[in-house]
Amino acid sequence: MSLLVVGSVAFDSVKTPFGEVEEALGGSATYFSLASGFFNDVQMVAVVGDDFPEEEIAFLNTRNVDTGGLQRVPGKTFRWKGAYTYELNEAQTLDTQLNVFEHFSPQIPDAYRDARFVFLGNIDPELQLLVLRQVREPQFVGLDTMNFWIERKKEALLAVLKHVDVLTINDGEARQLTGEVNLVKAARQILSQGPKILIIKRGEYGVLMFNGTRIFTAPAYPLEVVFDPTGAGDSFAGGMMGYLSNVQTINDETLRRAIVFGSVMASFNVEDFSMNRLRKLTYGEIEQRFKMFKALTDFEDI
């Protein structure tokens, strides 16, 4: 079943206590596509400038990513520069050059409009709405957003949320969106505004899923080296949506597994800068780490 993602493609310059990279491949659509490509074919809609290397497109194509919806326009590709402190939680943005991304208007190719699984990466909620208007009959829609849009475009965000099945945000954003400190109460409020499922990302503490009245928690994999958290959320979403669009069945059981697959992808992604770890990852390694998540959380019932 087809999976469509709309988001950003960028070049990231990232500095962490462990080193730095200059203008490495980044962006929400890119991380999502590379992660979901392990589970299913994915159609990517995004924009790049004329400086974007052909070999990166060719690489994505080898990883089940259809780049037919990638708009290439005159100008420079989106650039982001950030730094992480030793705790590796939130990035400090040092520089943002939107470049061609500034006037991005997602055009969904006709061949993609029948997509049944759609993921709206972290872009302007007005553009997310624009995407949904172009998709004919999606079965399952996921959405990611951030504090910037909650602050500046809350109305548009609430409008698009009405059409969303699963929302993925972090704990700070859940509190910001609802004005509620307690996450269980915040979740109930968000679920009353459209999404059937809420996934709260808590970085090194893992994720919480609220699926109606059912709650599921998954830890983050305890790693000895977390190199670069950039893209962890998008890799998570890619693993989750990739798995769900592959099995084509949405219920509490498949959602739980999807969340573990998402957590697996995020755990690999943070092991190296940019997409370096995902580039050389194998499906065998993904299965192995899934089993490690099982060993990490399993206990005998009474």
Smallest Cα–Cα separation from 142: which of 58, 100, 199?
A: 199
* Range 226-285, binding its own copies (CB under 8 A): 226, 253, 256-257, 259-260
Of the pair 47, 209, the CB lying nearest its own copies is at 209
How big is the chain, counted in residues?
302
Cα–Cα distances in angstroms (integers) from residue 186 to residues 18, 147, 179, 189, 268, in the given order: 36, 15, 8, 5, 30
Closer CB to its own copies, 65 or 198, in the complex: 198
Told to check if 224 binds its own copies by CB under 8 A, we report yes
**CB of 91 vs its own copies, minimal distance in Å:** 17
Task: Please report which helix (H) or strand (E) contains residue 214, including its range.
Answer: strand 214-218
| Residue 183 interacting with its own copies (CB under 8 A) | yes
| Three-class SS of 233-281 | HHHHHHHHHHHHHHHCCCCHHHHHHHHHHHHHHHHHHCCCCCCHHHHHC
Neighbours of 124 (CB within 10 A): 19
Closest C-alpha among 105, 109, 137, 107 to residue 123: 105
Do 40 and 245 form a contact (C-beta atoms < 8 A)?
yes
Which member of 223, 248, 279, 280 binds its own copies (CB under 8 A)? 223
**What phi and psi, each to the nearest 5 degrees, are found at residue 284?**
-60, -40
Under rule CB under 8 A, residue 54 binds its own copies: no
**Residue 115 vs 198, nearer CB to its own copies:** 198
Position among 51, 126, 196, 216 found at the interface with its own copies (CB under 8 A):
216
Q: Which is nearer to its own copies, 55 or 224 (CB)?
A: 224
Residue 287 in contact with its own copies, rule: CB under 8 A:
yes
Residue 179 binding its own copies, by CB under 8 A: no
In the complex, the smallest distance separating the C-beta of residue 112 from its own copies, rounded to whole angstroms, is 29
Contacts with its own copies by CB under 8 A lie at 86-87, 181-185, 202, 205-206, 208, 214-219, 222-226, 253, 256-257, 259-260, 287, 290-291, 294-302
